[in-house]
Amino acid sequence: MPKSKVFILLLSACAFIFCACTSQKVTSKRSLENSQLESMTVQDLVGQMVVCGFSGTELTDDFADFLRTYKVGGVILFAGNMRTLQQTRKLCSDIQKVVTETTGFPAFICTDQEGGAICRLPKKDFLPLPGAYEIASFKNPNLVFQAGKLTAKELLLCGINVDFAPVADINSNPKNPIIGKRAYGSTAEDVILYSGKMAQGLLSEGLLCAVKHFPGHGDTDTDSHLGLPSVNKSYEQLLDFELKPFKAAVDLGVPIVMTAHILFPKIDDTYPATMSHKILTDILRGDLGFAGLIITDDLEMAAIKKHYGLVDGAMAAVNAGADLLCLSVFSEGGSEICDALALSVDRKRLEQSALRIIGAKEKLADLPLANQNLLKSLNSDMKKIRNGKLLDS
């Protein structure tokens, strides 16, 4: 037989073996996840979908009891929760211990570390990251990548494993009271470039990140913390502008997308994006091909709580396709949402989200907690970033 034919046969055999092994690995992983789901109660499934905040700088007995009772799988931290690096590390460690022992899975410990005005890490210990508009003004995509990488190192040093950043909104409305300089620019091209580099930097260290606020918060004149914004654009108009950075983020493999509490009446005249099946399932999952986690913006914001009610808003969000429900406040609302979901949502729907959540959490299991002695070198690097200087590679 000619050598060329022997080579081709060997190559084909290797390809067959590789495909068979890969298929077996995927099948076994899926089987493992399915067996985990089968052993979970409805309350276990619901708890994994909740990300809740609380007041104070230590894990209180009341909040720990809530985490245990409702098998809650995620916590969001704000600036008021984080006083110093050492205190934050202990807080995150205590949260991880309770959630892991109760649920069998790591906790999502989340924060909003965007840069600029939205920096949650304690300023006593950490030099703040420049805001999106400021860092984009250096016109250096590699600088933004390094900023994302450095931010991930800072968050992981604290024990935080999810960053609700970068902002993928386009700053297109000068009357916008909430986005403005939180955006990387006023063109789709700038936002695609710099938000993408920020996301890549965050992901490069193993941190999970969430682009926000889908399908775009840049063209509003109302703050969704205070009211219900409305954007009177067609789907075709969104595709041509607001959706471009989100599509680029999906193509990059960003693991989480955060929703916007905004009405788009030409697409859905009843519900804002957070509660809209047309926007979350038909557009984000269907048209854009997103297979990761969908998290709501804070359901305590007036756009949802005041106009639809906390429990009804949460129920509609899950039915629309959301996997994670974000609540900034630890109150009776959290337990009411958990009880309502456990009673009313089909188990198969809950399992869809739990499967995605478990898959994401598997990537967090081996993330090491860095030595806190690294803080000095991280701040030195952040000082360079703030001055527009690239770090030594």
Pairing of strands 293-295, 268-272: unpaired
Query: How far is 370 from 35, CA to CA, in rounded Å?
Result: 33
Q: Are strands 263-264 and 268-272 parallel, antiparallel or unpaired?
A: antiparallel
- CA 266 – CA 75 distance, rounded (Å): 35
156 alpha-carbon distance from chain centroid: 15
C-alpha closest to that of 127 among 387, 393, 367, 373: 387
Single-letter residue type at 98: V
Whether 248 and 197 have beta carbons less than 8 Å apart is answered as no
Catalytically active residues are 225, 297
Structure token pair of residue 369: 């907690």
Q: Do residues 272 and 261 make contact, with C-beta atoms less than 8 angstroms apart?
A: yes
In angstroms, the CA 213 to CA 241 distance is: 14
Q: What is the DSSP track for 47-81?
A: HHTEEE--SSSS--HHHHHHHHHTT--EEE--GGG
- Distance, CA of 261 to CA of 51 (rounded, Å): 17
